[in-house]
Amino acid sequence: MIKTISSEKPIWWTSKITQLLELSEVHRNSIIYNVDTINENIDRLGQLDSIDGLFYAMKANYSDDILKTVVKKNIGFECVSPGEVQYLINLFPNIDPARILFTPNFSPKEDYIFALERNLVVTVDSLYPLKAWPDIFMGKKIMARIDLDVGDGHHEHVNTGGDSSKFGIPLIQISELKHLAKANNITIGGLHTHSGSGIKNASNWIDVASKLVEIASNMPLVKIINLGGGIPIRERLDDNSFDFKQLNTLLLELKIKHPRFKFWLEPGRYIIGEAGVILTKVTQLKEKGKNYYIGVGVGMNTLIRPALYGAFHEIVNLSRYGLPNTQSVTIVGPVCESGDKLGINRKFPLTIEGDTILIGNTGAYVKSMASNYNLREIPKEIMI
């Protein structure tokens, strides 16, 4: 029996338990994506009247089936390396360059030349390229990433604002940015920022948008305000969804006051995060002092986010879903590292070897960050 978690629409996998259990018998370790969830998330973003441009952050997941799903929705792509751009072009040879944003960070000169030669929408997030290599930007239109000294997110490693972050042009350098652009015949057509990942408060987005609009008011050629990504997903089964209605209302108020600007978003994890789950099997059980460990077939080589960010992923015993959670356990993988812990102090039902374990919210920054560390295989990806 599937329990009702909240008044919101249940997370998709709670209605596909039988299908997932059947898949887990064929593939001991797999990453499953639900295409309907991807489409629903893109459609929800597309209903925002305040947003004029959507670009999928390709670094979140570049699996072919996912990219093919996204491209059908007629939104753009945000790429951070020539490798991502070339992968996209190889998959979609006729893609319009205007659909590709190139937002590198501390990249070599050759990366910028690569993007400019292909007429991509290029963002610079430092004055260094404009000062050191002005010739490659002359006569070009670019975007500038601004560090508003405002950062947010669920962990310091995903907080991308302020002096301790390596991203963006600091506010104190805005005057020099404008001088360099004028001196070298460079058009700054848009301002970009990205405050972090998992920003739950809609008013934070408006504060950021307002600050960019204020800066752009003194830059007459700027037409685009790119708010980056960071829209949160439901981390836990009982979490509420992000308040898009409030965001849309507040952004529309800002647009009415400043009709010159178009607003863009670069969602990655929001589009694909909830759509993915890992399926794996219990391998061993161990009691050690006050700790009880459940070993599973995937480890930090597949899902590095808990070790890297302290990220939370819902983990359930799918074979015994809905049964009483009677013990506190730590779920660990087979990688030879002390940090190979996927979930600590989780409430779990009595579990045995061979049970199917589901790890939620693994559509984004899982396969794209996975490795063969310990020469462990990365699970097979399956779209349902």
Q: What is the CA radius of gyration of the chain?
A: 22
**pLDDT reported for residue 120:** 98
> Above 90 in pLDDT, residue 115?
yes
**pLDDT reported for residue 17:** 98
> Above 50 in pLDDT, residue 3?
no
Q: What does the mean pLDDT of the chain come to? A: 94
> Above 80 in pLDDT, residue 65?
yes
pLDDT in tens, 214-228: 999 999 999 999 999
Cβ atoms of residues 279 and 24 within 8 Å: yes
**pLDDT reported for residue 163:** 64
**Domain annotation for the chain: domains and CATH numbers:** 12-32+275-383 (2.40.37.10), 36-272 (3.20.20.10)
Q: Which residues contact 95 (CB under 8 A, 6 or more apart)?
A: 71, 88, 89
| List 336, 350, 352, 384, catalytic entry | 336
pLDDT in tens, 120-130: 999 999 999 99
> Above 90 in pLDDT, residue 150?
no
Mean pLDDT of 6-10: 63
Determine what percent of the chain is predicted with pLDDT higher than 90. Answer: 89
**pLDDT reported for residue 156:** 52
> Above 50 in pLDDT, residue 158?
no
> How many Å apart are CA 298 and CA 331, to the nearest integer?
10
How many other C-beta atoms lie within 10 A of the C-beta of residue 95?
A: 15
Tell me which of 46 and 156 has the higher pLDDT: 46
359 forms beta bridges with 278, 315
100 forms beta bridges with 77
Cβ atoms of residues 68 and 59 within 8 Å: no
Residue 1's pLDDT band (cuts 50, 70, 90): very low
pLDDT in tens, 28-39: 999 999 999 999
Tell me which of 283 and 158 has the higher pLDDT: 283
**pLDDT reported for residue 295:** 98
Q: Which of 147-151, 190-194, 356-360 has the lowest mean pLDDT?
A: 147-151
Active site residue 336: yes
276 forms beta bridges with 33
The pTM of the full predicted model, rounded to 2 decimals, is 0.93
pLDDT in tens, 227-240: 999 999 999 988 88
DSSP letters along 216-247, please?
Answer: HTT-TT--EEE---------STTPPPP-HHHH
Cβ atoms of residues 350 and 285 within 8 Å: no
Nearest alpha carbon to residue 217 among 257, 169, 161, 167: 257
**pLDDT reported for residue 141:** 98
> Above 90 in pLDDT, residue 159?
no
> Above 60 in pLDDT, residue 4?
no
Mean pLDDT of 113-136: 98
Mean pLDDT of 36-60: 97
Cβ atoms of residues 196 and 150 within 8 Å: no
Mean pLDDT of 277-288: 98
Look up residue 312 and give its two tokens: 């939370």
> Above 80 in pLDDT, residue 154?
no
**pLDDT reported for residue 9:** 80
pLDDT in tens, 160-189: 455 678 999 999 999 999 999 999 999 999
> Above 80 in pLDDT, residue 152?
no
Residue 155's pLDDT band (cuts 50, 70, 90): very low
Mean pLDDT of 259-279: 97
